[in-house]
Chains A and B, each alone.
Chain A
Amino acid sequence: MASQTILQKLEILADAAKYDASCASSGTAKKNSLGSAKGIGSTEGMGICHAYAPDGRCISLLKILLTNHCVFDCHYCVNRKSSNVARARFTPQEVVDLTLAFYRRNYIEGLFLSSGIVKNSNHTMEQIVEVARILREEHDFRGYIHLKTIPEADAEIVHQAGLYADRVSINVELPTDAGLTRLAPDKDARQIEGAMGNVRSDLAEAKDAKKRFRHAPRFAPAGQSTQMIVGADAATDADIVGKASRLYDNFRLRRVYYSAFSPIPDASAVLPLKRPPLIREHRLYQSDWLMRFYGYKPTEVMQATEADGNLPLDIDPKLAWALKFRDSFPVDVNRATKEQLLRVPGLGVKAVHKILASRRHRTLRLDDVARLTLSITKVRPFICTVDWRPVMLTDRADLRSLLAPRTEQLELFAA
């Protein structure tokens, strides 16, 4: 094979990384390069999306694979051994140069590096760590680094990754063990969770050390995250929500990313023929938010699912829950607790805070609430104010159809 140019490799290895949903660059420790001799970069806690692709996803990090050669044969993965895609491999130095060149031009917040497995897991993980090492040690790079770690690699090498990276992630891949066995035959659920457990204890240890020694080494200050593929196996939304909440509990994950299974070139025959509707992924993210910011328990999110165990696609999970538990409504905005207000469909966390702050000064009328929310139509059936009681509405059988957005034919060429 003629040697590939950097441009050709970048095309192949960025293309191979495009199925990964995670991209965040937030939640890490603050650092900057002022006062250092040659350092470059900063992180200020909040991540920055430097561009958006036409798929609506943000581009915050240079997200590439070190190589898309792989000895594994996971069916959903475009890089699996038996797939017929073009292959390429970067050297660690090439990734470093590319990251720095992009960073200096303010195209990116840092690097998100993943890799196919070449030779063996340890070798691959060492290469990934080497990229981070050169960036941090030789170039004093202070931007964001997210490393995808390989569960089969030795804990010691994964630990090294955490010392250089802001965030590490280990993909659980599929929501059920049966799905994993069928679609990722070379992977082992227990090994994956074992690796997550190791990272969790490394994180706890580093946090503890930081309390006692000011110069204790930082270990992945942005924590660990994971990703699972949705729609490639028969797992229901209830299964997925259950799995996600167990992962949050057991491993203190910062985020669980859901990636709708996407058609891939040269797909394996055991995959489903159709991609799941993208809205399903969106509903799962919404349910994730309900658990993380609105105080819903996983079992409550599961109560919002329909008979087949899946969340409704036409309405959001919060509305779905409210429609099933109508006796919890209407909520009196002038008297309800914060927890009760957070359950009102159409009221976000910010709107709830505004309501709580405002009602210390005035008794809220419907118009006042309208000024504090994005859309009063959605909220109205579920609240009462001094001048509004929706008693009839919550009893109406057709409430759902009144609130569900009208389904529209999607535009093919909207621009």
Chain B
Amino acid sequence: MTAFQHVEAGTYYVTEMPEPDDFEFWRERARALVQCEVPPDRIAWIEPGGSGDLFAHGERRSPMPEEGARPVRANRRFVSLAKNAILHSDPDRFALLYRLLWRLQSSPRIMEDKADPDVRRIEELDKNVRRDSHKMHAFVRFRLIEEESEDGEPREHYVAWFEPEHHILRANAGFFMRRFANMHWSILTPQGSLHWDTETMREGPPAERSDAPGGDPMEDLWRSYYASIFNPARLKIGAMLKEMPRKYWKNMPEAALIPELVAGAQKRESTMVEAGTLEFEERPETLAAIDRAIHACRKCPIGELDNEAVMGEGPRDAALMIVGEQPGDQEDQAGKPFVGPAGQLLNQHLERAGIDRGAAYVTNTVKHFKYVQRGKRRLHQSPGAKEIDTCRWWIESERAIVQPKLVLAMGASAARGMLGKTVSISKARGAPIPLEDGSELWITAHPSYLLRLDGAAREEQARLFDADLAAVRERLEELQA
């Protein structure tokens, strides 16, 4: 018999759903139909407001199962999927659910057969609905309006406009109730609305976008957060679109920023990289190459001053490397390290300790002289941490070539240049610090520090300096033995 013939015979049933998400109603009807053994192809399920005209002559009353009819079997997996899948906007969902319920009577384990087309379809519907619900939890944006309560007191009311794809509004009331229990809130959608007053949930009629407020002062802050937390160096538009499809954008205040953030990302990244990275070439392979390169170096402001780079001096294979802070006025003019007053003092102490300066490689942490002009004089200024870190490239290049067994860093700048961090001289001096390449670092004061002291303090510091140098000489002898 064709469907038409069934209609004629009064054995074709039409079920109009009162609500698109009314699972209980569907369940009652479906149970009766199964018990009366009405096969799926003799039932039409019609959405509320859907066109039932085609089946105008179908039987609209549910058939009455006979007394003692076989109970309907449905396992838990089916029921939990069906409850969710019925919220889908696909008009065929009721029929699909009935077809599965019908088949469950003869094959009770059909839900486990993941390759079955009906099972796959119901799982797909369930997945779409769960995704839409999840997006609703995520993308609803409340806007605050101040209103008067029944007793005339001002009251905060949070109102959102949302456009779900499926009939999920009612099913998700609980989530918002549990989260915003002590807020007055409303969610308006084209399919209906929800209103919570901290105690009861009220359902309202479908709404229009114009019923919801148009903005909220917090949105400026939120947008600025959204723009700031975005890292332009990691643009991944596909990943964003996969999780936040365009259809949701129109009701999310931050989404309006996306085009300009994307358009500006390339530029922001390159600005960041330009401002950030220092383009060093490959490490120079000879000391002469370093000498040439430091003369051209303008990685920090010191290089821009009117000065000349001062290269280290000494044997290429020296066992001892002595590192100072930076060239001073005289060093800058002579183009040699440690020729000024501090250099002369250093020479005296080295001699007293029995260290041959000529056998050591003597150099500076920072390669250019930093100063401020006062009249005709150029006054020494200590380099900043950033400048020292920038110049580390060169001192490391020198060390890579000379490969000293022992490095003596004099003063805080030299210590930072070797270690990358600021250390206290008084705590660090007098004991070796192992370096990555297997050599040893010893730290002591800078001779110019001694020059600034007088009397007893100077004697005390000179004694400590001598002690450090003596220890270095002893250790050097051990290392070379």
Instruction: Decide whether A and B are members of one complex.
Output: yes
A residues whose Cβ falls under 8 Å from a Cβ of B: 6-7, 10-12, 14-15, 17-19, 32-42, 44, 48-59, 62-64, 73, 75, 81-84, 98, 101-102, 104-107, 178, 182-183, 185-186, 260, 262-271, 273, 275, 278, 354, 357-358, 360-362, 364, 368, 371-372, 412-415
Chain-A contact segment, one of B29-37, B109-117, B352-360, B442-450: B109-117
Q: Which of A36, A55, A360 contacts B231 (CB 8 A)?
A: A55
For the complex, is B389 an interface residue (Cβ under 8 Å from A)?
yes
**Sample (28) of A-B pairs whose CB atoms are under 8 Å apart:** A6-B221, A10-B221, A11-B227, A14-B224, A14-B229, A18-B230, A32-B179, A36-B181, A36-B182, A39-B182, A44-B175, A51-B244, A53-B231, A55-B234, A55-B240, A57-B236, A104-B144, A105-B222, A107-B141, A183-B420, A185-B419, A185-B421, A267-B278, A269-B278, A273-B280, A358-B113, A371-B115, A414-B238
A6, B221: Cα distance in complex, Å = 8
- Cβ–Cβ < 8 Å partners of B389 in chain A: 75, 82, 268-270
- Cβ–Cβ < 8 Å partners of B237 in chain A: 54, 56, 414-415
- Cβ–Cβ < 8 Å partners of A182 in chain B: 420, 436
- Cβ–Cβ < 8 Å partners of B224 in chain A: 7, 10-11, 14
A54, B134: Cα distance in complex, Å = 20
A52, A264, A358, A368, most chain B CB atoms within 10 A:
A52
Structural contact, B179 and A33, CB atoms closer than 8 A: yes
Residue of A whose beta carbon sits closest to that of B225: A14
Structural contact, A18 and B113, CB atoms closer than 8 A: no
Rank and list the top 10 A-B pairs by shortest CB-CB distance, nearest first.
A56-B239, A185-B421, A56-B236, A267-B276, A32-B178, A14-B228, A82-B385, A53-B230, A33-B181, A55-B234
- Cβ–Cβ < 8 Å partners of B138 in chain A: 48-51
A2, B216: Cα distance in complex, Å = 27
Q: Which of B233, B240, B262 contacts A52 (CB 8 A)?
A: B240
A413, B265: Cα distance in complex, Å = 10
A354, B277: Cα distance in complex, Å = 50
Q: How far is the CB of B399 from chain A (nearest CB, A)?
A: 14
Beyond the given pairs A51-B226, A183-B420, A364-B115, 4 more chain A to chain B contacts, judged by CB atoms under 8 angstroms and listed by A's residue number, are A10-B228, A42-B175, A82-B385, A107-B222
A412, B235: Cα distance in complex, Å = 10
Structural contact, B240 and A56, CB atoms closer than 8 A: yes
Q: How far is the CB of B53 from chain A (nearest CB, A)?
A: 37
Structural contact, A412 and B266, CB atoms closer than 8 A: yes
- Cβ–Cβ < 8 Å partners of B375 in chain A: none
Given the known interface contacts A73-B421, A269-B393, the answer about A55 and B277 at a Cβ–Cβ threshold of 8 Å is: no
Structural contact, B421 and A275, CB atoms closer than 8 A: no
Structural contact, A18 and B228, CB atoms closer than 8 A: yes
- Cβ–Cβ < 8 Å partners of B115 in chain A: 358, 362, 364, 368, 371-372
- Cβ–Cβ < 8 Å partners of B272 in chain A: 263-265
- Cβ–Cβ < 8 Å partners of A58 in chain B: 243
Given the known interface contacts A104-B158, A107-B141, A362-B115, the answer about A81 and B385 at a Cβ–Cβ threshold of 8 Å is: yes
Residue of A whose beta carbon sits closest to that of B273: A263
Given the known interface contacts A49-B138, A56-B237, A368-B115, the answer about A18 and B229 at a Cβ–Cβ threshold of 8 Å is: yes
Chain-A contact segment, one of B2-10, B65-73, B253-261, B316-324: B253-261
Q: How far is the CB of A120 from chain B (nearest CB, A)?
A: 16
A6, B122: Cα distance in complex, Å = 49
- Cβ–Cβ < 8 Å partners of B134 in chain A: 48
- Cβ–Cβ < 8 Å partners of A63 in chain B: 229
A368, B116: Cα distance in complex, Å = 9
- Cβ–Cβ < 8 Å partners of A50 in chain B: 138-139
- Cβ–Cβ < 8 Å partners of B160 in chain A: 106
- Cβ–Cβ < 8 Å partners of B255 in chain A: 51
Structural contact, B225 and A10, CB atoms closer than 8 A: yes
A172, B235: Cα distance in complex, Å = 26
Q: How far is the CB of A45 from chain B (nearest CB, A)?
A: 12
- Cβ–Cβ < 8 Å partners of B112 in chain A: 357-358, 360-361
Structural contact, A51 and B181, CB atoms closer than 8 A: no
Q: How far is the CB of A262 from chain B (nearest CB, A)?
A: 5
Structural contact, B114 and A185, CB atoms closer than 8 A: no
Q: Which of A42, A75, A262, A270 contacts B233 (CB 8 A)?
A: A262
A51, B140: Cα distance in complex, Å = 10
Given the known interface contacts A10-B225, A49-B243, the answer about A263 and B233 at a Cβ–Cβ threshold of 8 Å is: yes
A17, A59, A263, A268, most chain B CB atoms within 10 A:
A263
For the complex, is B429 an interface residue (Cβ under 8 Å from A)?
no
Q: Which of B75-116 contact A (CB under 8 A)?
A: 109, 112-115
Structural contact, A106 and B140, CB atoms closer than 8 A: yes
Given the known interface contacts A42-B179, A263-B269, the answer about A105 and B139 at a Cβ–Cβ threshold of 8 Å is: no
Q: Which of B114, B421, B436 contacts A354 (CB 8 A)?
A: B114
Number of residues on chain B facing chain A (CB within 8 A):
82
- Cβ–Cβ < 8 Å partners of A38 in chain B: 182
Structural contact, B218 and A54, CB atoms closer than 8 A: no
For the complex, is B477 an interface residue (Cβ under 8 Å from A)?
no
For the complex, is B120 an interface residue (Cβ under 8 Å from A)?
yes
Given the known interface contacts A105-B158, A264-B276, the answer about A270 and B420 at a Cβ–Cβ threshold of 8 Å is: yes
- Cβ–Cβ < 8 Å partners of A48 in chain B: 134, 137-138
Structural contact, A104 and B226, CB atoms closer than 8 A: no
Q: Which of A105, A266, A273, A413 contacts B275 (CB 8 A)?
A: A266
- Cβ–Cβ < 8 Å partners of A354 in chain B: 114
Structural contact, B180 and A52, CB atoms closer than 8 A: no
Structural contact, A82 and B384, CB atoms closer than 8 A: yes
- Cβ–Cβ < 8 Å partners of A53 in chain B: 226, 229-231, 240, 261
Given the known interface contacts A44-B175, A82-B384, A371-B120, the answer about A54 and B142 at a Cβ–Cβ threshold of 8 Å is: no
Structural contact, B221 and A7, CB atoms closer than 8 A: yes
- Cβ–Cβ < 8 Å partners of B143 in chain A: 105
A140, B277: Cα distance in complex, Å = 46
For the complex, is B299 an interface residue (Cβ under 8 Å from A)?
yes
Structural contact, A57 and B238, CB atoms closer than 8 A: no
For the complex, is B344 an interface residue (Cβ under 8 Å from A)?
no
Structural contact, A19 and B142, CB atoms closer than 8 A: no
Given the known interface contacts A53-B240, A262-B234, A414-B237, the answer about A102 and B218 at a Cβ–Cβ threshold of 8 Å is: yes
For the complex, is B472 an interface residue (Cβ under 8 Å from A)?
no
For the complex, is B62 an interface residue (Cβ under 8 Å from A)?
no
A84, B386: Cα distance in complex, Å = 9
Q: Which of B142, B385, B386 contacts A106 (CB 8 A)?
A: B142
A186, B385: Cα distance in complex, Å = 14
B183, B216, B225, B252, most chain A CB atoms within 10 A:
B225
Structural contact, A262 and B385, CB atoms closer than 8 A: no
A35, B199: Cα distance in complex, Å = 9
- Cβ–Cβ < 8 Å partners of A73 in chain B: 385, 421-422
Structural contact, B420 and A75, CB atoms closer than 8 A: yes
Q: How far is the CB of A102 from chain B (nearest CB, A)?
A: 6
For the complex, is B168 an interface residue (Cβ under 8 Å from A)?
no
Structural contact, A102 and B222, CB atoms closer than 8 A: yes
- Cβ–Cβ < 8 Å partners of A183 in chain B: 420
- Cβ–Cβ < 8 Å partners of B421 in chain A: 73, 185-186
A337, B280: Cα distance in complex, Å = 54
Structural contact, A278 and B234, CB atoms closer than 8 A: yes
Q: How far is the CB of A294 from chain B (nearest CB, A)?
A: 20
Q: How far is the CB of B45 from chain A (nearest CB, A)?
A: 26
- Cβ–Cβ < 8 Å partners of B188 in chain A: none
- Cβ–Cβ < 8 Å partners of A10 in chain B: 221, 224-225, 228
Q: Which of A51, A178, A371 contacts B252 (CB 8 A)?
A: A51
A35, B225: Cα distance in complex, Å = 32
Structural contact, B392 and A269, CB atoms closer than 8 A: yes
For the complex, is B454 an interface residue (Cβ under 8 Å from A)?
no
- Cβ–Cβ < 8 Å partners of B177 in chain A: 34
- Cβ–Cβ < 8 Å partners of A6 in chain B: 221
A273, B276: Cα distance in complex, Å = 9
Structural contact, A178 and B182, CB atoms closer than 8 A: no
For the complex, is B404 an interface residue (Cβ under 8 Å from A)?
no
Q: Which of B140, B233, B391 contacts A275 (CB 8 A)?
A: B233
Structural contact, A55 and B228, CB atoms closer than 8 A: no
- Cβ–Cβ < 8 Å partners of A35 in chain B: 181
